[in-house]
Amino acid sequence: MTHRQCFSQELRSQLVPEFYTAKARRRNARWRLCIIIYRPRDPLGPITRPMSEISFIKMHGLGNDFVVIDARGGDVALDPDRVRAIAERRLGVGCDQLLEICPPHSDEAAAFMRIWNADGGEVEACGNGVRCVAAFLMTEGGTEEVAIDTLAGLIRAERADRGRIAVDMGEARFDWEQIPLAREMDTLKLDLSLGPLSAPVAVNMGNPHAVFFVDDAEKVDIASLGPKLETNALFPERANIGVAEVRGDDEIRFRVWERGVGVTQACGTGACAAMVAASRRGLIGRAAAVILDGGTLDIEWLEDNHVCMTGSVATSFMGLLL
């Protein structure tokens, strides 16, 4: 089968005919990564046809970018080394996370989503990633809503206005053991500081977050402070580190250092954590627009403690890993 035969005629009609091949050999690796890339005619329209076991879709939510692989056929073998090579931006495809679509674990779900960070570690939740996978699965199934199994639990998503995807990210958790922290502590004001940052709010949105409130988020050197705080002994599972600037009754400027990734353009669970943390501190109500480097997410903290996130998704290109 040639690379062109891997896609149906209908799918090929969505793709620009020109393509290129990039090859990269990872030092001391036992395999070679070969990438054949097809670019969609409409860069904003997700390509949502079923993928073969070696094909991938490059998607993003507000610049938080993903390699999405459909592994429901059962023949995709991923491990930390291979994930790191695929995520490498110079020699691989390049991404913040790799999302692996697997057979569902429950009767309610359409699929189980494995989430691999760029460092090869597997994590529990990814808000922007689940929007991308939800868009893929809903178009594939011709539905307006979908449920997805994750390590953080069952997540439900539906189509919203302006082509956006709305996701119920589940309940926010605040107990120190649920974050988790290394010792008992008030999660509304952690005993933690570094440079200009101090006393963050801890929130678990399927993964651990520490949110520091600042007067000007743009002035914080998150690239320098983030990795030091991520690996602080207070966080036995490490943590995502965010800085939040409350700009009004319904607006937050938020920047983030993601655990196992680094500085990203957007973090869905981080935006949820920032909004909930600001509300717990009495700085804002229960709904806000959270402005990230890559764009804006609308977040609402419901009375039942569930957090809803609404934002856009996009497709960059499609290709093959050989």
Say whether 267 is catalytic. Answer: yes
Say whether 308 is catalytic. Answer: no
Take residue 260 and report the two structure tokens written for it.
Answer: 């196992």
67: nearest Cα among 208, 75, 51, 181: 51
- How big is the chain, counted in residues? 322
CB atoms within 10 A of CB 80: 13
CA–CA dist 299, 130 (Å, integer)? 15
Identified catalytic residue from 6, 34, 132, 267: 267
Identified catalytic residue from 126, 132, 272, 308: 126
Q: Which amino acid is at 219?
A: K
Active site residues: 126, 267
